[in-house]
Amino acid sequence: MHILSNDTKKVFALALPAALKHLADILQVLVDMIMVGYVSLSALAAVGLSMQFMMFVNVLMTLYIVGGNALISRFIGSGRKKRASALLFSLALFALALSIVVAFGGYFCAASLYTLMGASKDVVVEGTRYLQTLSLGITLVFLDNLLYNALSAAGDTKSSLFIKLGSSGVNAFFNYLFIFGHWGFDAMGVTGAAMATIISYGFNVVVYLLLLTKHSEAKLLFVPLLRVQDVKRALKVGYHAAIDRAVSTLSFLVFVSIITYYGTVELAAYQVGLRIEGLAFMPGFGFAIASMALVGQSLGAGDREKAYKMGIIAGRIAYIFMGMVGMFLILYPEFFVSFFTKDMATIAVASEYLVLVGFVQIPLALTFVYAASLRSAGDTKTVMRVNIASLWILRVLPSFIAYKMGFGVVTVFIIMNVETLLKGFIYSHLYKRKKWLYAKV
């Protein structure tokens, strides 16, 4: 009982800061959107559409982050801190090289990207300014994500939370200066918003590097040693995760397009419901990070039974928290939706969405935690296969058929949640089979 209590404390110690950091990420995006919204509708649309470019960036970052996490957590668990630190340095060089390619593409293709997305001329102009400026600092985005994930894999999520809180303040402050033109600065609109974002990422990277190079007690260091073989191992694990992310992102875009066919009210309701549900994801996200780190470290220490148990503990706590959130979504959907819109038709549809997703928060929690555990063990191929098959066969295809047959948007929401439920059962089955514990990294 004492061992279980200590393990549970470890899970909480990692999960809570990770969840709060995720909340800070969401709030920073909301603050950006609110402040840009005061400039013009075109500026707001331009920044919103830039998220499509960031989806592509996230796919590329997944390539080296997931495999890097799996190896770093194992090295830390086996007491090889120097090797984990050398891998971090090596992955930083890889991220740097990859980000330069993305920066060139983002800068020179910005206008074409917005045009391809069907943006109006005003939005294309504003979007080009925003994306070109952001592209100049995209290297900092790549490094920030690498350093955060590596530190989490090593078992330190608390430092990242404090760093994020600091950078959120930095971002808001420079938004105020650059977007609107205060304290002698010219009002730069979306260009200023992009500059503020770059500075906040730069703040993150500088503080991370100070922590990893100056703090001898840090769980991970930034050791300038090149480990090409370990980078190859990380990429071998990560490319399945990157394919998974890319195909899943595509399925999401197709699913949204299906909802778009129903009309503006239905699309707005879905977007509102998705944002509210995003807040419900916080516990699941936090416990997934905790499971990833503790499972990987336990495997690195050669203790498969403990690795299995840490995922079980994280899953149980996650589904308790997300289950409680689900109850609130079921009981008070209109209350949550009313913060985003006063349109009664939108409130009605979004409330139906929240009630339905409320019923599947428990299987969703298990999906978060168990999928993270499998990735941490290096079994990214299984996760890729499950996600691709589930999203396309159980969600996108039935939703398209339902639309063509004349069923309402609520039927599509039901299909989406049935897919979530079935995926939760699939991951529970795969986790309890324990084959993933023997995956080679």
**pLDDT for residue 79:** 87
Q: Is the pLDDT of residue 2 over 50?
A: no
213 in the same domain as 360:
no
Lowest mean pLDDT among 75-79, 116-120, 274-278, 292-296: 116-120
Is 231 a member of any domain? no
Task: Taking residues 361-378, report their average pLDDT.
Answer: 92
**pLDDT for residue 1:** 42
CA dist 270 and 318 (Å) reads 24
Q: What is the mean pLDDT of the chain?
A: 87
368 in the same domain as 243:
yes
Is 125 a member of any domain? yes
Residues sharing a CB contact under 8 Å with residue 376, sequence separation 6 or more, in sequence order:
69, 70, 73, 153, 291, 292, 293, 295, 296, 299
pLDDT in tens, 204-222: 999 999 988 876 666 788 7
Q: With cut-offs at 50, 70 and 90, classify the pLDDT of residue 95.
A: very high
Task: Taking residues 74-102, report their average pLDDT.
Answer: 92
CA dist 416 and 168 (Å) reads 33
Task: Taking residues 54-70, report their average pLDDT.
Answer: 88
Q: Is the pLDDT of residue 441 over 90?
A: no
410 in the same domain as 384:
yes
pLDDT in tens, 116-175: 767 678 878 888 888 889 999 999 999 999 999 998 888 888 889 999 999 999 988 998
Token digits of residue 72: 């770093």
From 200, 226, 252, the end of a domain falls on 226
Report CA-CA distances (Å) from 407 to 151, 256, 259, 400, 412.
47, 16, 12, 10, 8
180 in the same domain as 150:
yes
Number of domains into which the chain is organized: 2
Report percent pLDDT > 70 for the chain: 97
Among 22-31, 206-215, 403-412, the range with the most confident prediction by mean pLDDT is 403-412
Is 188 a member of any domain? yes
190 in the same domain as 321:
no
CA dist 316 and 301 (Å) reads 23
Structural domain range at position 39: 1-226
**pLDDT for residue 305:** 92
Lowest mean pLDDT among 63-77, 230-244, 275-289, 290-304: 275-289
Q: Is the pLDDT of residue 49 over 80?
A: no
Report CA-CA distances (Å) from 170 to 144, 173, 362, 395.
15, 5, 36, 40
